[in-house]
Amino acid sequence: MLSQTPYPSRLQYGDGHFTTVKVTQGAAVNWAAHKARLDEACARLAMAPIDWQTLAPAVFAKAKALGEGGLKILVARAAGGRGYKPAAGANAVWLSDFQEPAHYPLWREQGIALSLLPVTLGSSPLLAGLKHCNRLEQVLAAQSLEALSADEGVLLDEQGQLVSAVSANIFWFEGDKLFTPRLERCGVAGTLRALVIDKAEVNKVTADFSRLLAADEIFITNALMGIVPVRQLEARTFSAFPRTRLTIGNLHL
């Protein structure tokens, strides 16, 4: 069926970015980090600055009305003519709300199963770290995950190095030392990832999948799910998550 709804012209090129904010007790959690993420993306993509005098009050009002759940802020470049050349002007911004996925509390309590996925992420240093609107690699990764008996998947880059899960960042313990993949070539630098790095002593490294298989504990993070321990990676199982639970406690999550 042909849609009769006009589409934002720049989004056909993925010419935008977004952030997803957790809402707890009517407040936007870690709001400063989400604001910084949107500002950084606008700067790196040479988009107009965001009108915070308009957007911030709208976010706070929607969070208060929602109570518990999440908000999505989507920013697209000003519409132009045909072709790739961008136009000057104010960005288009959409603000929407939703309920927390029902399985997230169980994930946080019991942990999840991870499997290595066949989809790899291509290197793109100009876009690395940004949560931009071209997420086709993640769409294909999520599709490949459906064939596996796992909750989330591990994504490598084209050189076989660890990047992330499909919808989350990855951390692991080797003894008491905490590690996470470097994201200079690809991947999304999550707001909760930034908080963990800021509050804990984290080593950002280039590592292959064997490093994760040898870990003592693994957890994944994103703004909505929080910190989620891994109870199984491929055939390996983890029966307890003491270091992960301690990290959660230290961050008051």
- One domain, residues 221 and 135: yes
Of 44, 72, 100, the residue at which a domain comes to its end is 100
Instruction: Indicate if the pLDDT at residue 123 is higher than 70.
Output: yes
pLDDT tens by residue, 110-120: 999 999 999 99
pLDDT tens by residue, 157-195: 999 999 999 999 999 999 999 999 999 999 999 999 999
Of 77, 100, 123, the residue at which a domain comes to its end is 100
- One domain, residues 143 and 239: yes
- One domain, residues 16 and 59: yes
- One domain, residues 95 and 126: no
HEC assignment per residue over 60-122: HHHHHHHCCEEEEEEEECCCCCCCCCCCCCCCEEEEEEECCCCCHHHHHHHCEEEEEEEEEEC
Give the pLDDT confidence score for residue 86 in this predicted structure: 83
Average pLDDT value for residue range 78-96: 84
pLDDT tens by residue, 194-221: 999 999 999 999 999 999 999 999 999 9
Q: Answer yes or no: is 3 within a domain.
A: no
Cα(170)–Cα(167) distance, rounded to whole angstroms?
Answer: 10
Q: Give the domain range for residue 78.
A: 9-100
Instruction: Indicate if the pLDDT at residue 82 is higher than 90.
Output: no
- One domain, residues 136 and 228: yes
